[in-house]
Amino acid sequence: MQNFNHVAGGFAFAGIFGSFADINVFETFDTMAVVWISAVLPDIDHTKSIIGKTFYPLAKWIQRKYGHRTITHSIWFYIAVVCIVKGVDNLFGLHYALPVALAMGSHLIFDMCTKLGVPIFYPFSRRPAVLPANRDMRLSGTDFRSEAVLFVVFCCLNVFSYPLMAAGFWSRYNKSFSTWEHLSREVKRKPGDYQTTFLHDNDTVTVIMVEQKAGELIVWQQGAGRGGDRSKGRFVRYDPTICKLISFDRLPDRHRFVPVNLVQVAVDSVNHYMTEPVAHVTVQSDQELFYFEGPIMKKGTELTADYPNGPRFEQLSIDNASTLSALKQLELEHQLDQVHYKTKLSVLEGHQRELADHSTRTDLSDYEEGKRREKVRELSGKVASFEQPEPVNEELYRVRKEVLQHQLKKTARVNATLLIWREQSKPN
C-alpha cells in the first residue's frame, strides 16, 4: 500500500477507534504528527518510503540486514514501540500511546490486505498474515487505480467521521438518545458541567446540571435568583418524570464542591458564605438558631439544609440582665465587706492610740493620775477583748467574678460546615 494511503487510512482508523476512548486525533498538531509518523513507521525498513528517506542511514541498515516487510512489520516491533511510548507517557504525563498503537496497527492491517501480506510473527515465522484469505480479493501495490479509490474512501471517512472523532463515540451515542439515563451515564463517564435543555410545563428550560438523584434533578438555573449576590442564578429542583430531555452539551468550565469549615465564628460569618452557591450547610450553636425555608421557619441548635437558596441564619438576642445583676451585687458585697473590715480596724487602731497616749502621761496630779489609770485599765480591756476582723477573701471574689463574666455573651458563637459549588479555577 502506498504511503499516502497509510497516512489517510491511519488517520481514519485511529480517529474512529480512538473516539471510543474520547481521543480526537485532529485536536492538536502534536497528536496529528504522532499519528502521521506512526502510520508510516513500519516502512522505515524501505529506503524509498517517506520515513525511510527521512531516516535514510537507519532505513538502509534495516533493509540490508532484514529486508522489507520483515522485522518492522512484526508484532514484536509493534509491541516494543507501543511500550516505549507508554513509558514516555507515564514519565512526562503525555497521551500518545493509544494513537500510536492504532496508527501503527492500521499500517499492519492494511498491509495484510495486500497480496504479499506481512510476516506478523517474524523472525519466528516468515509465513505472511493476510486479509482476506482469497488472494484475488486483496490489493496490489502497483494498482494505482485501486489506491486512488481507496484514498478517496479514507478521505471521506475522515471528513464525515470528524464530528464523531471530535465529540467521542460514547458522547455521540448518549446524545443520540437524549434520555436522563444516558445523561447520567455520560456525566459518570466524563465528569464536568453539562448544559441541559429540557421541556417542563410546555416551557423550554436551559440549565446547568448539578446533581441527579432518584426522582429529582438539582440544577443551576441562570436568572432565577431573588436579589442580592444570588441574582445571577439559584439552585432549582425538578422532577425528571415530568421533564422531557431535549439535548445536553459538556461545557469547558467545570465546577466542583468545595468544603468550608468555620469554627467559633459569629452567625454573620456564616451568612457571608450563604451568598455563594451552597449545596449543603450544617450550623451548630449552643444558642437557638432559626431561618426561613419558604414560608416555613426552622429553628434549633443544629440546622441542616441541602441546596438552600439565600437563607439567612438568625439568633434571638441574648438576655444578660440576670447575670449583670448578679455581677453588680457581687461587686457591692465585696465593697461593703472591705468597708466593714477597714472600719473595725480603725476602731482597734483608735483604742490602741488612745491607750498609748494615756500610758505615756506623767505630769498629772494625784486625782488626774487616778483617772488616767482607770482609763488605761478600761482601754486595755477593750483592746484585749476586741475581736480581730477577718480580711476579705480576694481570691474567692476573683473566681466568682470570672464565673459571672464568662456567662456574659455579647455574641453567640457557631460552628458551621458548608459545601460550596465553585469553579475549579477560582481559589478556595
Each residue's pLDDT tens digit, 52-109: 888 888 888 988 888 888 889 999 999 999 999 999 999 998 899 999 999 999 999 9
428 belongs to a structural domain? no
Give residue 290's domain range.
Answer: 255-318+413-423
- % of the chain residues with pLDDT over 70: 94
Q: Quick one: 155 and 14 in the same domain?
A: yes
Q: Which residue in the block uniquely carries the three cell numbers 538502509?
A: 60
Q: Which residue in the block uniquely carries the three cell numbers 492500521?
A: 106
For residue 141, pLDDT beyond 70: no
CB of 86 closer than 8 Å to CB of 67: no
Q: Which residue in the block uniquely carries the three cell numbers 479514507?
A: 154
For residue 228, pLDDT beyond 80: no
Q: Quick one: 230 and 281 in the same domain?
A: no
Give mean pLDDT, residues 333-344: 87
Q: Of 220, 250, 280, which residue sits at a domain end?
A: 250
For residue 353, pLDDT beyond 80: no
Sign of the Cα torsion 9, 12, 14, 16 reads negative
Q: What CA–CA distance (Å, rounded) separates 58 from 56?
A: 5
Q: Quick one: 342 and 225 in the same domain?
A: no
Helical spans, DSSP H, in 161-250: 162-167, 169-177, 180-189
For the chain, how many structural domains are there in total?
4
Q: Quick one: 49 and 147 in the same domain?
A: yes
- Bond before 389 cis per omega within 30 degrees: no
Residue 224 pLDDT: 54
Q: Quick one: 106 and 32 in the same domain?
A: yes
Q: Quick one: 63 and 25 in the same domain?
A: yes
Ordered strands of the 194-200 beta sheet: 233-238, 216-222, 203-213, 194-200, 243-250
If one counts every other C-beta atom within 10 angstroms of the C-beta of residue 342, the result is 11
Q: Quick one: 371 and 329 in the same domain?
A: yes
Q: What is the pLDDT of residues 181-224, one digit of tens each?
A: 998 888 888 888 999 999 998 899 999 999 988 889 999 988 75
Helical spans, DSSP H, in 50-179: 50-54, 56-65, 75-92, 97-112, 144-160, 162-167, 169-177
CATH number at residue 271: 2.60.120
Q: Quick one: 186 and 288 in the same domain?
A: no
Cβ partners under 8 Å of residue 359, min gap 6: 376
CA nearest 41: which of 57, 54, 26, 24? 54
Nine cell digits for residue 159: 471528513
Q: What CA–CA distance (Å, rounded) separates 146 from 422?
A: 57
Amino acid letter, residue 254 = R
If one counts every other C-beta atom within 10 angstroms of the C-beta of residue 304, the result is 13
CATH number at residue 201: 2.30.30
Q: Quick one: 156 and 282 in the same domain?
A: no
78 belongs to a structural domain? yes
Residue 410 pLDDT: 61
Q: Quick one: 277 and 370 in the same domain?
A: no
Q: Quick one: 144 and 56 in the same domain?
A: yes
